[in-house]
Amino acid sequence: MKTYTLAFLILISFLGYADSEKKIDSTIDEVTIYLSGAQIKRSARVNLKPGTNEIVLSHLSPNIEKNSIQISGLKKTSILSINFNIDYLDKKKQSKDLEILHHRLDSLLFQKNKLENILSGLGQEKKLLDNNQRISSNTESLSLERIKQISTYYRERATQIQDRTYTLTVEIDNITEQITNVSKEIDKLDDDTKEERGVISLKLDSALATNLVLEIKYNVTKAGWFPLYDIKSQNTQKPIAIAYKANVYQQTGTDWTDANIILSTGDPTVNTIKPVLNTKYLNFTYRNYNPSTAVNRYSYKYNPTVQVVSGIVNDQNGQPLPGVNIIETGTSNGTQTDFDGRYNLAITNGNALSFSYIGFTSESLPIYSSVMNINMEPASSSLEEVVVVGYGSSSSSRFKNSPPSYSSRKKERKEYNQVVENKEEGITNTKFRIKKKYTIKSNADVTSIEIDNFELDAQYKHYVAPELNENVFLTAKLGNWEKFNLLAGEANIYFEGSYAGKTNIDPLSTTDSLTISLGIDPNIIVEREQLNNYKSKSFTGSNRISNREYKISLKNNKQNPVSITLKDRIPVSQNKEIKLDNIDTKDAKYDQKTGIMTWNIELLANQKTEKQFSYQVRYPKNKRINL
């Protein structure tokens, strides 16, 4: 009897505990979307009894960062514990569109299976006919009339089977194509977290019965936004119009329905622990010692819409590197650069590219654009940041000036534009509060939100470096761009009403102006040729002498004058056995340290001009150099 009483008390206690656990509904009120990740703000109404109350918030994203959970609106109630777990039994509810697609997929699979069974049966019948034909001929003494009857039957039935087999095969191929298309559409609307649901369990202690409106905040992964620009220019006499867009993506497993949206330029995934610089002591090292390098400060963020990446890999001097290994991180998908340093790679499911080459420091970059050019540094040298721009690369520093002090923090509460309610400039990031509410579903789609639309005065100029590329690029030098809080990203170029291609914008530089490439101008012709005015190679003692002279011809076929920046180079020796003499740069602006020559040329309509330069190289005749 005591045993039964004890079991009964345990059952009552368990039921009482189960009854004390209360599941409540919550709604998403606001989403702050970072460059990587997002913060969700939910609200939930709770009725508490005196004593300990266990509250369960279910049907949440499984990608919640448990350390980021914050609870407010408690009044005099105290929190005893907060836990986050995954409920594997709870399933995400599918949308109506997704349910229709799944029903259609099931129907197509059933039809395909049915046709394949018929096709298999016809194959078995054909095999049976063939076997029976051999058996009949071996076991019976057949008359000519009987043979004709059997032959006619076999021929007619075999023809029917082949015709039916062909028809079924066509139907199966058609259904297979429909299955592929429906599956792709399901992948767009679905995400890989639908089978898991997150649960936040709260244990609250209340002295009195009370009603609360709880505010729950937490961060999630598998979400973010990346900038995209539309740059439009009608002609070189008008300012440039720039549309600054945010492309939002999320696959958190939970739809953001009718939520207020805030776009933040912050990134909580970046390591925020400041480095500690200690004394560096010199000592003898082993042969393969490599000095430590600074952490790269790349400003680019992952762009999930990129499907194919192409670009050029150069060394620190701008020379192409053939045979560079390029791997999509987390996969076996990769390629190598060709003789000109060019590569092209179709993206599967990775989010970064790794560049490696013998003798050079490996680089890893997020897949941020369909065009990714990179300059690799020798392994023994210290690294500077490689900044990819529309037509080249340069070193940069992230901040133009020192970070603002707390007293200089700015907040613009007034209406910003038709899309953004206000812009808040904080100490470490900028926030754009969007006016209208958005519903952003958890799938592979990208939602585009226009942050700003403005015009900038531009100084148009043409640029050409014919040793590397004889195409002439139209560039625009923009001033007063800092106030728009631009981020590094890809841009679509529209010039004179036509799509001109893509470029990359990197505003995180120390210069007062931002230069972007607007594409190739086919109406300016440039040719670079080596002249044979004198003997190119000769010998003197143990040395070989190589004389080089080049002519660059420029022709303006446009009906208006143009300004052109022409650049070329004379090699710089890094070996005392290799000497350069008789350098003649004519009227070029020449930098002896880098060997770069610059001409700023004004060409009238239909005008032609020529530029020349020459030099002599002396080096040991038993060696070869990279001329």
Domain membership of residue 587 (yes or no) is yes
Q: Given the DSSP bridges, would you call strands 387-388 and 352-357 parallel, antiparallel or unpaired?
A: unpaired
Low-confidence winner among 36-40, 182-186, 553-557 (lowest mean pLDDT): 182-186
Task: Please check the confidence at residue 398 and state whether its pLDDT lies above 70.
Answer: no
Domain membership of residue 477 (yes or no) is no
pLDDT of res. 121: 85
The position carrying tokens 């191929």 is: 173
CATH of the domain at 584: 2.60.40
Q: Which amino acid type is present at position 305?
A: T
For range 535-544, the mean pLDDT: 66
Domain membership of residue 466 (yes or no) is no
pLDDT of res. 392: 34
Q: How many CB atoms lie within 10 A of CB 253?
A: 23
Q: What is the pLDDT of residues 26-60, one digit of tens each?
A: 999 999 999 999 999 999 999 999 999 999 998 89
* pLDDT band of 289, cuts 50, 70, 90: low
The position carrying tokens 């919640």 is: 64
For range 408-422, the mean pLDDT: 62
Query: Do 175 and 239 reside in the same domain of the chain?
Result: no
Q: Given the DSSP bridges, would you call strands 352-357 and 360-366 parallel, antiparallel or unpaired?
A: antiparallel
pLDDT of res. 140: 56
Task: Please check the confidence at residue 488 and state whether its pLDDT lies above 80.
Answer: yes
Q: Which amino acid type is present at position 532?
A: N
Q: Write out the DSSP string of 31-78.
A: EEE-SS-EEEEEEEEEEEPSEEEEEEEEEE-TTEEEEEEEEE--TT-E
pLDDT of res. 538: 62
Phi, psi of 247 (to 5 degrees): -95, 110
* pLDDT band of 395, cuts 50, 70, 90: very low
Q: What is the pLDDT of residues 294-320, one digit of tens each?
A: 555 556 778 888 889 998 998 877 778
3-state class (DSSP) for residue 167: helix
Q: Write out the DSSP string of 76-105.
A: T-EEEEEEEEEESS--PPPPHHHHHHHHHH
Q: What is the pLDDT of residues 422-473, one digit of tens each?
A: 888 777 788 899 999 999 988 888 899 988 888 888 888 999 999 988 899 9
Question: Apex CA 29: angle with CA 413 and CA 56, to 5°?
Answer: 145
What would the two tokens of residue 298 be? 């790349």
Q: What is the pLDDT of residues 188-239, one digit of tens each?
A: 666 554 567 899 999 999 999 999 999 999 999 999 999 999 999 888 888 8
Biggest distance spanned by C-alpha atoms of the chain: 119
What's the domain count of the chain? 4
CB 256 within 8 A of CB 465: no
What would the two tokens of residue 229 be? 């620009």
Question: Apex CA 342: angle with CA 510 and CA 356, to 5°?
Answer: 75
CB 489 within 8 A of CB 506: no
pLDDT of res. 525: 93
CATH of the domain at 408: 2.60.40.1120
* pLDDT band of 4, cuts 50, 70, 90: very low
Q: Which residue has the higher pLDDT, 148 or 64?
A: 64
Residue 375 structural domain: 224-270+301-459
Most confident of 106-110, 121-125, 294-298: 106-110
Handedness of CA 378, 384, 385, 391 (dihedral sign): negative
Query: Do 233 and 314 reside in the same domain of the chain?
Result: yes
Task: Please check the confidence at residue 386 and state whether its pLDDT lies above 50.
Answer: no
Q: Residue 552's beta-bridge partner residues?
A: 528, 611
Low-confidence winner among 343-347, 433-437, 504-508 (lowest mean pLDDT): 504-508
Q: Which residue has the higher pLDDT, 615 or 23?
A: 615
Q: How many CB atoms lie within 10 A of CB 350?
A: 18
Task: Please check the confidence at residue 145 and state whether its pLDDT lies above 80.
Answer: no
Exposure string (b/e) for 562-579, b if CB count within 10 Å is 16 or more?
A: bebbbbbbbeeeeeeebe
* pLDDT band of 412, cuts 50, 70, 90: very low
pLDDT of res. 622: 84
Calpha distance 56→81 (Å, rounded) = 12
Calpha distance 459→443 (Å, rounded) = 42
For range 589-617, the mean pLDDT: 93
Query: Do 213 and 154 reside in the same domain of the chain?
Result: no
Task: Please check the confidence at residue 406 and state whether its pLDDT lies above 50.
Answer: no
Q: How many CB atoms lie within 10 A of CB 93?
A: 11
Query: Do 231 and 347 reside in the same domain of the chain?
Result: yes
Q: Which residue has the higher pLDDT, 526 or 351?
A: 526
Q: Which residue has the higher pLDDT, 287 or 543?
A: 543
CB 311 within 8 A of CB 502: no
Task: Please check the confidence at residue 532 and state whether its pLDDT lies above 90.
Answer: no
Task: Please check the confidence at residue 415 and state whether its pLDDT lies above 80.
Answer: no
Query: Do 426 and 548 reside in the same domain of the chain?
Result: no
Distances (CA, A) of 600 to 77, 248, 567, 597: 73, 42, 9, 10
Task: Please check the confidence at residue 142 and state whether its pLDDT lies above 80.
Answer: no
pLDDT of res. 93: 62
Sheet holding 78-87, edge to edge: 21-24, 51-60, 197-206, 78-87
Domain membership of residue 38 (yes or no) is yes
CB 598 within 8 A of CB 588: yes
DSSP E strands in 268-307: the ranges are none
Exposure string (b/e) for 259-277, b if CB count within 10 Å is 16 or more?
A: bbbbbbbbbbeeeeeeeee
Query: Do 215 and 184 reside in the same domain of the chain?
Result: no
Q: Which residue has the higher pLDDT, 188 or 393?
A: 188
Task: Please check the confidence at residue 346 and state whether its pLDDT lies above 80.
Answer: yes
Domain membership of residue 444 (yes or no) is yes
Domain membership of residue 265 (yes or no) is yes
Query: Do 235 and 356 reside in the same domain of the chain?
Result: yes
For range 318-332, the mean pLDDT: 87
pLDDT of res. 390: 35
Q: Which of 459, 489, 504 is the last residue of a domain?
A: 459
Query: Do 360 and 444 reside in the same domain of the chain?
Result: yes
Calpha distance 23→243 (Å, rounded) = 45
Domain membership of residue 500 (yes or no) is no
pLDDT of res. 419: 83
Query: Do 379 and 414 reside in the same domain of the chain?
Result: yes
Let me know how many helices (H) and strands (E) the chain has, helices first: 3, 38
| Average confidence score pLDDT of the chain | 80
CB 256 within 8 A of CB 250: yes
Task: Please check the confidence at residue 368 and state whether its pLDDT lies above 70.
Answer: yes
Task: Please check the confidence at residue 259 and state whether its pLDDT lies above 90.
Answer: yes
Q: Residue 45's beta-bridge partner residues?
A: 213
Query: Do 263 and 385 reside in the same domain of the chain?
Result: yes
pLDDT of res. 42: 95
pLDDT of res. 217: 95
Classify burial at 310, counting beta carbons within 10 Å of its beta carbon; exposed 0-12, middle 13-18, buried 19 or more.
Answer: middle
Query: Do 341 and 430 reside in the same domain of the chain?
Result: yes
* pLDDT band of 149, cuts 50, 70, 90: confident
Task: Please check the confidence at residue 5 and state whether its pLDDT lies above 90.
Answer: no
Task: Please check the confidence at residue 158 and state whether its pLDDT lies above 50.
Answer: yes
Query: Do 150 and 265 reside in the same domain of the chain?
Result: no
Exposure string (b/e) for 203-229, b if CB count within 10 Å is 16 or more?
A: bbebeeebebebbbebbbbbbbbbbbb
3-state class (DSSP) for residue 368: coil
Calpha distance 426→485 (Å, rounded) = 12
Domain membership of residue 195 (yes or no) is no
Task: Please check the confidence at residue 621 and state whether its pLDDT lies above 80.
Answer: yes
